[in-house]
Amino acid sequence: MVIDGQTFNFGTDIVLLTAANNNNGLYGPPGFWGFVGAQTGGNPANIATPNPWIGSIFFEFDCGDPGNASSPFPWLTAGAVAYGPFGGHHFGSSRWPATALQRGRAKVHVLTHYSQQAETLTWGPVGGAPQPYVLSGGRLPTIQFKIAGRIILDYRVVTAWQALSSYPQYSYVLAIAGGAASVFVQQNANGVSAGAAPNFAGVAVGATVADGSCLWKNCSFPIYAAGSGQTALNIPISNKLGGPGGSMLIADAWQGGQSTAWRDGITPQIIEAPIGWLQQPNGAFVTGMNRPNFATRLGAVTIDNTGAWTCLGRSKYATCCLPDNDGTWNTGGFSNPALCIADYLQTPRNQFGLGVGLTHDSIDTVIAAANICDEPVIEVF
């Protein structure tokens, strides 16, 4: 979430206020999401880790559960009163009756708490330059919510080894080796696996193992688009989410001006680029400064600076996106609504999902719907 241009994270900066963490009601009533800090004497200037919004802004969230029979915003319901060290505060509104459920609509209730006393106070780091009261003169902040997107497992993409199956060159399987799910790439022109799985766990990075007419090479674990590497939300040096490259959905795990060598300095590092496709470098080289338009056909080659990438096919994550033809930085986005809905259904309620399980029958339904929806329908800029 962004307040007046400053980014805050849920679970660390913004937390669910409880009886244990809200300083006897000073930070806000239990049940709201808000800010907390080491504050003494009720003076914002005495916060050890100062935050101007402590005690000044609160949130309630609701994902629009169709089965919800209770008011989604208890503190907005008419007559709602919260009690703290300074007496009762009426938060409810007569315009929001208990019957206002708004099921099927995701929404947020933002509450600002203006303090006339705070107008005369300042906040800021101890010994630092004082800052004016954030709601001075009754000013309301500008609030934005970042939707970063989730990586979603694609039930249609089989990455586990299969017995007596055909594996063309550059096909891959995922198997545990060295404690991680490593990518094993099929080296022969064409191959058929044996009736029993080879000992993937005993294959070192860069080594191979025979399997019927297949030859599998351990190419280590890949860098997924929203997984490892400098691609996480709000890492200051990231060229992806929250960094200098822009705050938007990650399109792939490619980074400009970076070596493709794994941490041993020799083994090439497989990446997901764009989301939903794995690419293997043809060796250790430094990527260019302009993002290439990656191929999305098994075995197809993409030139990148002095090296090249070979497409290994679909990754286990389903976003079904392709890069823009102009090759611009950080393009693409989710484009399969059936799989996005499946992810929302399975996400726990405390993470703003519905928290339900999918049976084998319902997974088959999701797969059928995803196959129908498998075309670009959403682009994130």
| Stated pTM of the model | 0.51
Residues 170 and 317 in one domain: yes
Per-residue pLDDT, 44:
46
- Whose tokens are 């959403």? That residue is 378
Q: Pick from 328, 305, 220, 227: which is nearest to 272 by CA?
A: 227
In this structure, the answer to whether residues 137 and 157 fall within a common structural domain is: no
Tell how far CA 336 is from the center of its chain. Answer: 16
- Residue 38, pLDDT > 60, answer no
Instruction: Please indicate, yes or no, whether residues 116 and 224 belong to a single structural domain of this protein.
Output: no
- Separation between Cα atoms, residue 273 and residue 226, nearest integer Å: 11
Model pLDDT for residues 296-317, shown as the tens digit of each residue: 889 999 999 999 999 999 888 7
**What is the per-residue pLDDT across 83-127, written as a single tens digit (0 to 9) for each?**
654 456 667 888 888 888 888 777 888 888 887 776 766 666 555
pLDDT tier at 319, thresholds 50, 70, 90: low
Last residue of a domain, one of 110, 130, 145: 145
| Orientation angle between helical segments 337-346 and 360-373, nearest 10 degrees | 150
Least confident of 68-72, 220-224, 307-311, 332-336: 332-336
**Span 8-27, mean pLDDT?**
77
Verify that 221 and 273 share a domain, yes or no.
Answer: yes
Identify whether the C-beta of residue 84 lies closer than 8 Å to the C-beta of residue 29: yes
Q: Tell me: the pLDDT tens digits for 173-204? A: 999 998 878 999 999 999 999 999 999 999 99
Tokens 């976003």 identify what position?
319
Cα 190 off chain centre by: 37
CB 197 within 8 A of CB 191: no
| Strand order across the beta sheet in which 271-272 lies | 271-272, 277-281, 307-314, 301-304
Instruction: Identify whether residues 244 and 113 lie together within a single domain.
Output: no
Does residue 241 sit in the same domain as residue 265?
yes
Between 102 and 162, the more confident residue is: 162
Mean pLDDT of 14-18: 86
What's the pLDDT at 179?
80
d(CA 291, CA 308): 12
The verdict on 125 and 267 lying in the same domain is no
70 and 170: one domain? no
Listing from the earlier edge strand, what are the strands of the sheet with 180-186?
A: 172-177, 180-186, 214-218, 208-211
CA 348 to chain centre: 15
**Does one domain contain both 80 and 13?**
yes
pLDDT-derived band at 323, boundaries 50, 70, 90: very low
Q: State whether 40 and 177 are in the same domain.
A: no
Q: What total of structural domains would you count in the chain?
A: 2
Q: What is the domain range of residue 330?
A: 148-381
Residue 374 CA: distances (Å) to CA of 241, 316, 340, 367:
25, 15, 12, 10
**What is the residue whose two structure tokens read 């096909």?**
171
**What whole-number distance in Å separates Cα of residue 300 and Cα of residue 78?**
62
Alpha-carbon distance values, 370 to 72, 249, 381 (Å)? 31, 21, 23
Residue at a domain's end among 95, 111, 145: 145
Q: Measure the CA–CA gap between 49 and 300, rounded to whole angstroms.
A: 52
Residue where a domain stops, chosen among 145, 163, 181: 145
Which of 279, 376, 284, 273 minimizes the C-alpha distance to 329? 273
